[in-house]
Amino acid sequence: MTAEPRLVEVRKNVLKQNDVNARALRGQFRAAGVFVVSLVSSPGSGKTAFLEKTLTLLHQRASVAALVGDLATENDAVRLARSQAPVKQITTGTICHLEAAMIQNALAAADWHLPTLDFLFIENVGNLVCPSSYDLGENLRLVLLSVTEGEDKPLKYPTIFNSADVAVITKIDLAEAVDFDSVAAHRNIQAVRPGMPVLELSAKTGAGLPAFLEFLESHRTQAHSAASANA
């Protein structure tokens, strides 16, 4: 009869410790001047392809690095390394999400000098449930939705959309082929998170990527301005 209350208490303690670690990370990132972007999505959303393209394009004009989480294998890290940006794999085993402590450990193992980075990307494990509860100290959290997943994804997983800052609709080059209703998707996102910015893009064709990069640069500038004003 005590199993469930005990489980709830353990979960509360885990989340509390994660929040402590996340605050420490956020302070570390702020002091280093690095803008941190995390990506969450279900498997198959095109998250790794999108991040590879982003790293490749940004690497030409900024200093970027990436941490990538997965249950097993280093396949995604190998793929992202083709961008020529520094990449570190985080293998979680049976854990379906990244935690702030994992980020701290990975950064220590990577031995990157954070003040030399303009952007740090964190690719979470493919999951739309568990990652919503874990702050990673990021500046921006992107939740990805591919056109192949259906327009009702935000309604099915409202918590992850509420914990994210920006929604990104991926694989728009396939929208017509899969009869994707963009208007319905936008309506569902706004129903769950009114006012949430929504970007549409294709890693394959490059459509929407220039606007996304400008969006990132703008938010990085705003974050630096706010940090300077509060210094």
pLDDT at 2: 47
Domain ranges in the chain are: 31-230
Task: Write down the mean pLDDT value for the chain.
Answer: 92
The whole-angstrom separation of Cα 186 and Cα 188 is 5
pLDDT at 1: 41
- Look at residues 201, 210, 122, 138 and name the one whose alpha carbon lies nearest to residue 168: 201
Helix, strand, coil shares, percent, the chain, to 5: 50, 15, 30
pLDDT at 10: 53
Please give the CATH architecture assigned to the domain spanning 31-230. 3-Layer(aba) Sandwich (3.40)
* pLDDT tens sequence across 14-28: 788 999 999 999 999
The whole-angstrom separation of Cα 84 and Cα 104 is 23
Residue 10: helix, strand or coil by DSSP? Answer: helix
pLDDT at 9: 61
pLDDT at 15: 82
Low-confidence stretches of the chain (pLDDT beneath 70): 1-11, 231
pLDDT at 231: 67
pTM: 0.92
Residue 152: helix, strand or coil by DSSP? Answer: coil
Residue-by-residue DSSP string for 40-91: E--TTSSHHHHHHHHHHHHTTTS-EEEEEEESS-SHHHHHHGGGSS-EEEEE
pLDDT at 72: 78
- Look at residues 142, 132, 154, 125 and name the one whose alpha carbon lies nearest to residue 36: 142
The whole-angstrom separation of Cα 182 and Cα 203 is 17
Residue 41 near residue 148 (C-beta atoms within 8 A): no
The percentage of residues in the chain with a pLDDT greater than 70, rounded to a whole number, is 94
